[in-house]
């Protein structure tokens, strides 16, 4: 569980329903944005809250200020070129704000 602190969390930039693109980056380190979703465009499904950055926590650093975390919904048929299911099928992924841009 992430610690509370007197350092204010980063303000949320996105709201429910906003279209967002997952930033593309190929970098070493502990990253919770899965490879398969980088570069993809989706829609904010909810704001989960603000949490200390796991990329920093992984190295015993504080991870503060806390980053807004969102659940972003993607259409499977857009994520996978050969997707075999229904065009309505979705995948929801939790993504930290610093990996998201407006789309």
Q: Which is nearer to other proteins, 17 or 84 (CB)?
A: 84
Pairwise CA distance, residues 71 & 79, whole Å? 16
Would the CA dihedral through 8, 33, 100, 78 be positive or negative?
A: negative
Residue ranges that bind other proteins, judged by CB under 8 A:
1-2, 26, 29-37, 48-49, 51, 54, 57-60, 63, 69, 71, 76, 80, 83-86, 88-96
Instruction: State the nearest-atom distance from the C-beta of 46 to other proteins, in Å.
Output: 8
Three-state DSSP class for residue 83: coil
Instruction: State the nearest-atom distance from the C-beta of 51 to other proteins, in Å.
Output: 5
């Amino acid at each position: 569980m992430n610690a509370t602190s007197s350092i204010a969390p980063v303000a949320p930039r996105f709201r429910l329903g906003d279209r967002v693109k997952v930033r593309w980056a190929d970098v070493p380190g502990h990253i919770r944005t899965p490879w398969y979703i980088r570069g993809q465009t989706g829609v904010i499904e909810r704001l989960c809250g603000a949490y200390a950055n796991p990329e920093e926590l992984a190295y015993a650093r504080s991870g503060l200020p806390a980053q807004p975390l969102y659940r972003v919904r993607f259409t499977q048929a857009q994520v996978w070129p050969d997707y075999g299911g229904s065009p309505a099928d979705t995948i929801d992924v939790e993504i930290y704000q610093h990996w998201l841009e407006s789309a």
